């Protein structure tokens, strides 16, 4: 007499059948990693890094959906936010928090589950995990333990801005979020004054105006830039032009200070390079000379505006102006 099929085996068989029906090329089924590896009786599990929508839930790819539906556990930066995505696609799978404050503590337990053969997915609140989001410590420890880590590519605010901003992006550097305190923020921007590549920053609504003002002061109000706001959402907007113009538009319209932002700033040109060198020289002279004298000497040396250089130096913490 044949034994009745268990509920767990029946559920897994049903998932495999659904995957087979969804993944076919020329009549031959293709399987996501999680299903294929289980059928091969792999001894250890796999950690999947799954990109999730940055605003529009329809942007979650088919492969990401199947992986989320097949894993034993989903690690989420915020389980409440991830629950909205899972509910939208009818996915019922356990979730657990994994964020900046507990990542080190949960890593050992996650590795133990992976070594027992469980598959686990890591997601952030939006976009690709680890890009200005938690996950680095966990991924590093999992790899050190000799366990496979597989990316499931998808939505990314960084790449969405790169592809749609109209800025030169054949070479760029990603700086993430700037410091929240103005003095520290200006120090970071000052060190980037001589950067020739397009610079990309993430910023929040309550700091965007201050950050744009500091960028305009540091890089110059005419430096080419683009502001990408609420991408893939209903109120998606793009502003382009000089940093001074973009800052003015944001200051004048309160709606332009709401949401999540990606800021792209063009790299320095030859004129910008002279400005950077003048700032660097002035920063070295300030500890030895009065500020007015230091700014005059540096401005005359590199042919930049003395008044602008003076205003810039007086906004910096002592000894930090133009520091490379």
Split at pLDDT 50, 70, 90, the class of 202 is very high
Q: Within a domain: residue 5?
A: no
- Same domain? For 129 and 48 the reply is yes
pTM over 0.85: no
Q: Within a domain: residue 12?
A: no
What gap in Å lies between CA 68 and CA 87, rounded to an integer? 12
Pairing status of strand 237-242 against strand 224-229: antiparallel
Range of the domain at 294: 271-314
Domain CATH code at residue 31:
3.40.1010.10
Orientation of helix 306-314 relative to helix 208-219, angle to 10°: 140
Domain CATH code at residue 226:
3.30.950.10
Split at pLDDT 50, 70, 90, the class of 306 is confident
- Same domain? For 63 and 77 the reply is yes
Residue 322: its pLDDT value, please? Answer: 45
Q: Within a domain: residue 132?
A: yes
Domain boundary among 268, 283, 303: 268
Which tens digit of pLDDT belongs to each residue from 61-88?
999 999 999 999 999 999 999 999 999 9
What gap in Å lies between CA 291 and CA 206, rounded to an integer? 33
Cα–Cα distances (Å) from 225 to 206, 228, 237, 276, 285, in that order, read 20, 10, 14, 18, 31
- Same domain? For 255 and 280 the reply is no
Q: How many other CB atoms are there within 10 angstroms of residue 147's CB atom?
A: 17
Q: Within a domain: residue 323?
A: no
- Same domain? For 68 and 175 the reply is no
- Same domain? For 23 and 151 the reply is yes
Pairing status of strand 28-29 against strand 24-25: antiparallel
- Same domain? For 184 and 110 the reply is no
- Same domain? For 108 and 169 the reply is no
What gap in Å lies between CA 47 and CA 264, rounded to an integer? 32
What's the mean pLDDT in 182-186? 94
What gap in Å lies between CA 145 and CA 125, rounded to an integer? 26
Residue 320: its pLDDT value, please? Answer: 47
- Same domain? For 263 and 301 the reply is no
Domain boundary among 134, 155, 176: 155
Number of domains in the chain: 3
Q: What is the sign of the dihedral through the CA atoms of 123, 127, 131 and 134?
A: negative
């Amino acid at each position: 007499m044949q034994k009745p099929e268990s509920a767990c085996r029946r559920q897994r068989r049903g998932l495999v059948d659904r995957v087979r029906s969804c993944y076919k090329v020329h009549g031959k089924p293709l399987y996501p990693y999680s299903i294929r590896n289980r059928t091969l009786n792999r001894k250890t599990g796999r950690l999947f890094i799954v990109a999730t929508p940055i605003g529009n839930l329809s942007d979650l790819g088919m492969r990401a959906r199947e992986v989320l539906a097949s894993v034993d556990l989903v690690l989420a930066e915020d389980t409440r936010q991830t629950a909205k995505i899972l509910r939208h696609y009818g996915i019922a799978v356990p979730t657990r928090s994994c964020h900046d404050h507990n990542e080190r503590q949960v890593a050992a337990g996650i590795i133990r589950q992976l070594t027992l053969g469980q598959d686990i997915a890591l997601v952030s609140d939006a976009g690709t995990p680890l890009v200005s989001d938690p996950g680095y410590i966990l991924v590093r420890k999992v790899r050190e333990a000799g366990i496979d880590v597989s990316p499931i590519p998808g939505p990314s605010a960084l790449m969405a801005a790169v592809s749609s901003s109209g800025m030169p992006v054949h070479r760029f550097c990603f700086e993430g979020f700037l410091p929240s305190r103005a003095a520290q923020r200006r120090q970071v921007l000052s060190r980037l004054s001589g950067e020739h590549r397009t610079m990309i920053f993430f910023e929040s609504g309550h700091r965007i105006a201050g950050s744009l003002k500091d960028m305009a002061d540091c890089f110059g109000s005419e430096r080419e830039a683009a502001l990408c706001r609420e991408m893939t959402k209903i109120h998606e907007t793009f502003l382009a032009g000089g940093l001074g113009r973009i800052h003015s538009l944001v200051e004048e319209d309160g709606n332009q200070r709401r949401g999540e932002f990606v800021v792209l700033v063009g790299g320095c040109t030859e004129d910008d390079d002279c400005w950077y060198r003048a700032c660097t020289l002035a920063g070295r002279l300030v500890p030895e000379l009065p500020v007015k004298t230091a700014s005059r000497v540096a401005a005359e040396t590199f042919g930049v505006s003395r008044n602008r250089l003076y205003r810039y130096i007086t906004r910096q913490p002592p000894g930090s102006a133009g520091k490379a």
